[in-house]
Every structure is written in C-alpha cells, then in structure tokens.
Amino acid sequence: MTVMRVLVVDDDPLTLHMVVYRLRQWGHDVISANDGTAAWEFIEASPSPNVAIMDWMMPGISGLELCQRIRARAGVPYLYIILLTGRNHPEDLIAGLDAGADDYLTKPFHLGELDARLRAGKRIVDLQNELISTRETLRIQAMQDPLTQILNHGAILDALLREVDRAHRQRQPVSVILGDLDAFKAVNDTYGHIVGDQILIEVAERMRSCLRSYDSIGRYGGEEFLMVLPNSDAEQALSLAERIRLAVCNMPFHYKNIELSVTLSQGVTTWTEPYPFPLERLIQTADGALYLVKNAGRNGVEYAHFDVGEDEAVVPIGRPNPLLRMP
C-alpha cells in the first residue's frame, strides 16, 4: 500500500502505542497525539495528514468536536477520518458520521480490520485529490490564454480590478502597460501563423521575465498584451516598459531556419487616489498613449495621465520622459 501520513489520536497510551507501532510497520508516516488540542495543531500544520484515526472520548477537544472542526475548514485537502469508539449504539454511530467521520472502528478492534479500512480510506483520499487536481487544472485553463500560457483577456481584467481595489484600500498607485507588436499582421502574412504563434509565445515569455512575481500579464487581444503593476508609480512603470521593449526588440526570434525581429509599442498610465475607477477609462488612457507611439513611428513607450473630469473624458497629456520613445 502506498505510504500515507497518518495522525493517530488517543488518550489511552496502550491503544496509541499499539496503533502507531503497527502503522509504522506497514510503512506509513505516523504522527501521534494524546488529546484533541495537540491533534488540531498537527492538522493545521504543514504537511497535514492524509488520514486521522481518532478516539471519540478525549480530554480537551473530543473526537466528535474535532471531526466538526475539520469539516468546517475550506480550501484544504480532504482528511479521511476513522473514529475509534467504545460506543456501539446506532444513534452514537450516526452522530459520529454526521459530525464528519468517514468510518469508525468499535473498540476493541482487530488490526487487520484497521488495515483494510485504511486501504479503503486511501482510495477515497486518492479520488478526492484527483478531483481537487482536476478542478485546479480547469480553473487555470479558464484563466489562461491557451497559446501563450499567460492570463487571458477576462482574467487580466479581473486582476486589474483586484489590484485597483487593493490600491484604493492601501492608498497606493497601480500602473498599466498596454503593449502591441508593430506590424504583426505582416509577420503572419509573410511567414504564416505557425511562425507568428511561436513569436507570440516567446514575446510573452520575454515580457514575463521582466516582471516582478506579483505583477500580472495577460493577452489582451491578438498581439496586444496588458500588464498590471501594483504599487508602481509612473516613473517605475515607464522604466519597466522600456526594459520590456528592449527585451522584445534587441534579440531576433528564431524558428527553424527563419530569423526575424519585431518591435513593440507600449502605452503606460497610472491610477492614483482620488480618482474614481471606471475600468474602461483606465485602459482607454493606456490605449491613447499607445496610439501616440504608433502615430509617431512605432517602437517606443508613451505615457498618458489618467484624469477623469466631470464628463469622464480621458485626457492623455504626454509622457514625463520624452527620451523613452525610441526611433
């Protein structure tokens, strides 16, 4: 049987020693406690057990209460519970199962029966872990762009909303970079979409390598990328945007026997207090800055202030450092 991490909890020293000894003989990783309070500390610690074998009657926190606490937790791996009890009345067993126990053994019990029930528990734990893994895979797939493996359009907008909400609460700035590969349609038309897709994958990776661990990047459109930079002011965002531009532009891309270079235009803006937060206006401001770069010959970085007046019009009013725009 595959090794599991098993927690044994019993205030009877003889039972505790016997079960722990046999479980270790069977090759399991065993931790033990003689009361419910100590057991709860093990359950809350990392790595947590896969299975808990618990006595019903214990000082402090009883086995029944411990079951209820375990089942009240959310977002944690499933813990399979085998309840040990001297009670054999049907209403007691029902109470134990209703509290969250998966199985029970009536004292005194045969160790072979414990082994069989552990194997049954292992099957349940494995199924639960597979379900958690599948659910997590589906969650990631729902957020990821399938080509570049960065966030998709909806997920990057969700990230932007979260970061602006956090910035509002913590009174910190948050900056946005909207990047667009220049004349990328010509790449697809000349070399085909397979080559174009490979370039998009590599561009996303080069961009991501420039970001901090808590920044977010997503594919906003075909060859457009949106980056969300928490606690970054205009100067920091502009500096990062230029590093990203150089990372994309300074090294040619290779696919089989093809070598080609692409350039990148980027618009930058920063949200700070006390402005309200219309999401589309913030992105529109970055897009307005991006348009200025495109209009000036591409391959550069432009900044626009995020400013909402009474008519909620966005006013791009230029970049702080004109030297950041490259010819």
Q: Identify any residues that bridge with 32 across adjacent strands, giving them in sequence order.
A: 8
The count of other CB atoms within 10 Å of the CB of residue 88 is: 10
Phi, psi of 312 (to 5 degrees): 60, 30
Phi, psi of 300 (to 5 degrees): -165, -175
Q: Which two tokens stand for residue 196?
A: 């174009």
Q: Could you tell me the maximum CA-CA distance found in the chain, to the nearest angstrom?
A: 85
Identify the burial level of 67 via C-beta atoms within 10 angstroms of its C-beta, where 0-12 means exposed, 13-18 middle and 19 or more buried: buried
**By C-alpha distance, which of 129, 118, 123 is closest to 29?**
118
C-alpha 143/C-alpha 151 separation (Å) is: 6
Residue type, 261: S
Residue type, 30: V
In DSSP notation, 57-102 reads: S-SSS-HHHHHHHHHH--SS---EEEEEES---HHHHHHHHHHT-S
Q: What sign has the CA pseudo-torsion 264, 269, 270, 276?
A: negative
SS3 140: helix
Helices (H), 144-261: 153-170, 184-191, 193-210, 234-249
SS3 297: coil
Q: Which residues are catalytic?
A: 223
C-alpha 302/C-alpha 289 separation (Å) is: 5
